[in-house]
Structure 1
Amino acid sequence: MEKKEVIIIGGGLSGIMAARTLLNKGIKDILIVEKSRSVGGRLATRRIDKGIADHGALFFTVRSSELQKDVERWLEAGWVKRWFGNPYPRYTSVNGMNALAKQLAETIPVKQNTKVSAIRDRRDGPLEVELENGETISADHCVVTAPAPQALSLLKGMEQDELSTISFAPCFVGMFTLEGPSSIPEPGHLDDELPQGVERVVDHHKKGISQSVTVSVYMTGEWSKKNEQFEDNGVLKEIQKVAERYLAEGSEIAGAELKRWRYAEAETVIRKPFIETGCDNRIIICGDAFLREQDEAGRTRFESAYLSGISAGERVAEKRKGI
Structure 2
Amino acid sequence: MHRYDVVIIGAGLSGIIAAQKLKQSNYRVLLLEKGPRVGGRLATKKYSKGKADYGAQFFTVRSDELNQEVQGWLAKGWVKQWFGENYPRYTSIDGMQEFSRRLAVNLPLFLSRNVSYINDQGSHFLLGDEEGKVYESERVICTMPAPQTLSLLANSSLCIEQSAQGALRMLTYEPTYVGLFQFDRPIVFPKNGHMNKKLLSGVERIVDHQKKGISSEVIVSVYMTADWSVNHDGEKDILELMREKTASYLDFHALVSQQLETWRYAQSADTHPHPFLQLDKEARIFAAGDAFLRADDQTGRTRFESAFLSGYDIASHLRN
Task: Compute the TM-score of the two structures, normalised by the length of structure 1.
Answer: 0.93
Distance 1:102 1:170 in 2: 25
Q: Show CA shifts across 1:266-303 (max 9, x none).
A: 11001100011235120111000000011122211000
Q: Once the 2 structures are TM-superposed, how far is the Cα of residue 155 of structure 1 from its aligned partner?
A: 1.3
For 1:303, give the aligned amino acid: E
Distance 1:56 1:220 in 2: 13
Distance 2:235 2:194 in 1: 28
Q: Show CA shifts across 1:48-75 (max 9, x none).
A: 2321010000000000011111111111
**1:228 matches 2:233:** yes
Q: Once the 2 structures are TM-superposed, how far is the Cα of residue 2 of structure 1 from its aligned partner?
A: 4.5
Distance 2:298 2:201 in 1: 28
Distance 1:208 1:44 in 2: 16
Q: Once the 2 structures are TM-superposed, how far is the Cα of residue 183 of structure 1 from its aligned partner?
A: 1.6
Q: Show CA shifts across 1:14-59 (max 9, x none).
A: 00000011012121x2110001111000000011232101000000
The equivalent position to 1:136 in structure 2, one of 134, 137, 143, is 134
Q: Show CA shifts across 1:220-278 (max 9, x none).
A: 001111111223xx112211334443335x96110001110000011100110001123
Q: Is the 8 A contact 2:4 2:29 kept in 1?
A: yes
CA shift in 2, pair 1:242/1:210, >3 Å: farther
For 1:253, give the aligned amino acid: L
Q: Is the 8 A contact 2:203 2:225 kept in 1?
A: yes
Aligned to 2:304: 302
Alignment of structure 1 residues 170-249 onto 2, 5 Å: 170-231=175-236, 234-247=237-250
Aligned to 1:252: 254
The equivalent position to 2:274 in structure 1, one of 252, 272, 275, is 272
Q: How many correspondences in the alignment?
A: 313
**1:94 matches 2:96:** no
Distance 2:184 2:288 in 1: 42
For 1:58, give the aligned amino acid: Q
For 1:42, give the aligned amino acid: R
Q: Is the 8 A contact 1:202 1:215 kept in 2?
A: yes
Identity within the alignment, %: 43
Aligned to 2:24: 24
Larger displacement relative to structure 2 (149-158 or 165-174): 149-158
Larger displacement relative to structure 2 (155-164 or 98-107): 155-164
Distance 2:189 2:149 in 1: 39
Distance 1:266 1:277 in 2: 19
Structure 2 counterpart SS, 1:281:
coil
Aligned to 2:105: 106
Distance 2:297 2:61 in 1: 12
Gaps of 5+ in 1: 319-323
Distance 1:111 1:11 in 2: 9
Q: Show CA shifts across 1:185-208 (max 9, x none).
A: 111111111112110000000001
Alignment of structure 1 residues 46-57 onto 2, 5 Å: 46-57=45-56
Aligned Cα root-mean-square deviation (Å): 1.5
CA shift in 2, pair 1:181/1:242, >3 Å: farther
Aligned to 2:143: 145
Structure 2 counterpart SS, 1:216:
strand
